[in-house]
Structure 1
Amino acid sequence: MSYSSNKIIAKNTMMLYLRMFLTMIVGLYTSRVVLTTLGVEDFGIYGVVGGVVSMLSFINAAMSLSTSRFLTIEIGKGDICRAQKVFSVAFEIHIAVSLLILLLAETVGLWFVVNKLVISEDRMIAAMWVYQCSILSMIVSVTQVPYNAAIISHEKMNVYTYVELLNAFFKLAVVYCLLIGKVDRLILYAVLQLFVSTFIALIYRVYSKKEYEECRIIWIYDKQIIKPMLGFTVWSILGNVAYIGVTQGVNILLNIFF
């Protein structure tokens, strides 16, 4: 391994540690303020309702790993044309996944929230705002995966750090808006979170399209790319289902039975 490669690895590692540190510090502060501002009931509603949508994203989590793997291989080969095809196919697959999540969320998921979760009637309207904002945020997140995979494949971890600085600023701004807001704070929090996630995703997309030629979408159908990507995804689904079940399923069980 060359000296330059070691230097890139060390730089990227430091950037990722800095990003994690910023996220942890801001998260420790904002979570306390959000809990105090929303109150225990509304904070719990946001967590459990958003968790229902998150549980539908296990396919997306598996596809994220698959997209990053196949895109990195083609970029490493230096075949930009092939990399563009992989990116385009991955984007098309994620569009299909987002539509599937939307269908499940507006049918099975909506029924589950209305009929099975323990939510007081006077907070049901606010819960529906949270649910719909969570669905839109999830769709943005799903269609964002190929762009994030492109940045990771090019080892531009400094981009994540800089954007995370902006994201931390927005999170603090959201907390400030909650403190001074005069409307329903749970609804306000859900809408602001949707705005932040959409804006951050837009930054990544603009950067990727500007810097990387392979991020220019061409609408194609290539079985030679789709088949191995989906095959790799299937093997990743089981672990992602278990992880989402542990992280989001516990909140739902607590809501229903306790």
Structure 2
Amino acid sequence: MSNQTSDNNKRIAKNTLLLYFRMLITMLVSLYTSRVVLQTLGISDYGLYNVVGGVVTMFTFINGTLASGTQRFLTFELGANNKEKLHRVFNTAMALHGLLALVLFFLVETIGLWFLYNKMNIEPGRMDAAFWVFQFSCITMLINVIQVPYMSSLISHEKMDIYAYMSIFDVVMKLLIVFLIQVVDYDKLILYGFLFLIVNCISALIYNIYCRRHYEECKFSRDLDKKIFKEMMNFSGWNIFGCASVTFQGEGVNILLNMFFGTYITITA
């Protein structure tokens, strides 16, 4: 019992240090990249990128509630050492997030696109760029929704080292993006949105490959469980108002500022 407690303490300390290291690297790189991106895109395009991405993000608050539920159910079954039910939980979570991705895609491409063209305050001549950034953000959203079960499985297994390494990989790619948008002769805003999409695709692919190779439950099949599906929906329902409040507080303020004042003031929100 003493050895097990010692091992748990060491694992907790290691994971904590890795997450602090990840946070430090991410913060330092973000301080540099934010300034360079602002200079390269300009105030208006930088604000446009934030607010257009915010329109897409407004639709994803449900994903946050499902993500916490998925992680909870995977962690519980992993602790119970019930491999069969753990596999069913993962498959059910994949089906649930796949369904959510389809619903969000429909809402974003109908209500979201209408809102972009009819309510957003976009500078003349930049609507085409806003459209493409909107589409890139939509695809990124779908990728993030679908990969939630893989991320939840990774966290449930407490593999914070992989999570930290991938976060460092992301910030290194952001540095590369900053370099590319400065040297490539193309619309900076569209290029920036496209490169961010590529980085998200690569990160999602790496996470998926790692989880499939190391965790048995991450091999998707049609082994679904309606009871687990209902339990996950009920559990997630308790968090929906909290996630919605956080999302609307952040992105909603940006969108309101854009509607009344344009893209220049959006970045100050």
TM-score, with structure 2 as normaliser: 0.94
Match of 1:191 in 2: 194
1:62 aligns with 2:65: yes
- Report the residue type matching 1:30 in the other structure: T
Q: Matches of 2:260 and 2:203 in 1, distance apart?
A: 36
Equivalent pair of 2:91/2:224 in contact (CA under 8 Å): no
Match of 1:206 in 2: 209
1:241 aligns with 2:244: yes
1:42 aligns with 2:45: yes
Match of 2:267 in 1: none
* Stretch moving more, 88-97 or 157-166: 157-166
- Once the 2 structures are TM-superposed, how far is the Cα of residue 86 of structure 1 from its aligned partner? 0.2
- Where 1:117 maps in the other structure, the secondary structure is coil
- Report the residue type matching 1:202 in the other structure: L
- Report the residue type matching 1:124 in the other structure: M
Q: Matches of 2:65 and 2:25 in 1, distance apart?
A: 26
4+ runs deviating over 3 angstroms: none
Match of 2:174 in 1: 171
1:133 aligns with 2:131: no
- Report the residue type matching 2:244 in the other structure: V
- Report the residue type matching 1:220 in the other structure: D
Match of 2:228 in 1: 225
- Once the 2 structures are TM-superposed, how far is the Cα of residue 120 of structure 1 from its aligned partner? 2.0
1:180 aligns with 2:170: no
- Once the 2 structures are TM-superposed, how far is the Cα of residue 230 of structure 1 from its aligned partner? 0.2
Equivalent pair of 2:54/2:254 in contact (CA under 8 Å): yes
Equivalent pair of 2:212/2:219 in contact (CA under 8 Å): yes
- Where 2:233 maps in the other structure, the secondary structure is helix
Q: Matches of 1:12 and 1:89 in 2, distance apart?
A: 28
1:152 to 152, 155, 158: 155
- Once the 2 structures are TM-superposed, how far is the Cα of residue 214 of structure 1 from its aligned partner? 0.5
- Once the 2 structures are TM-superposed, how far is the Cα of residue 164 of structure 1 from its aligned partner? 1.5
1:252 to 249, 252, 255: 255
- Once the 2 structures are TM-superposed, how far is the Cα of residue 121 of structure 1 from its aligned partner? 2.9
Count of aligned pairs: 258
Match of 2:266 in 1: none
- Report the residue type matching 2:98 in the other structure: I
Q: Deviations over 1:84-140 (max 9, x none)?
A: 110010011000111111000010000001000000230000000000000000000
1:97 to 74, 77, 100: 100
Q: Deviations over 1:162-208 (max 9, x none)?
A: 11121111000000001101000000000000000111111110000
- Once the 2 structures are TM-superposed, how far is the Cα of residue 220 of structure 1 from its aligned partner? 3.2
- Where 1:200 maps in the other structure, the secondary structure is helix
Match of 2:12 in 1: 9
Q: Matches of 1:29 and 1:96 in 2, distance apart?
A: 38
Q: Deviations over 1:38-73 (max 9, x none)?
A: 001100110000000000001101000000000000
Q: Matches of 1:93 and 1:223 in 2, distance apart?
A: 11
Q: Matches of 2:223 and 2:211 in 1, distance apart?
A: 20
Q: Matches of 2:56 and 2:12 in 1, distance apart?
A: 35
* Stretch moving more, 213-222 or 121-130: 213-222
TM-score, with structure 1 as normaliser: 0.98
- Where 1:57 maps in the other structure, the secondary structure is helix
* Stretch moving more, 160-169 or 102-111: 160-169
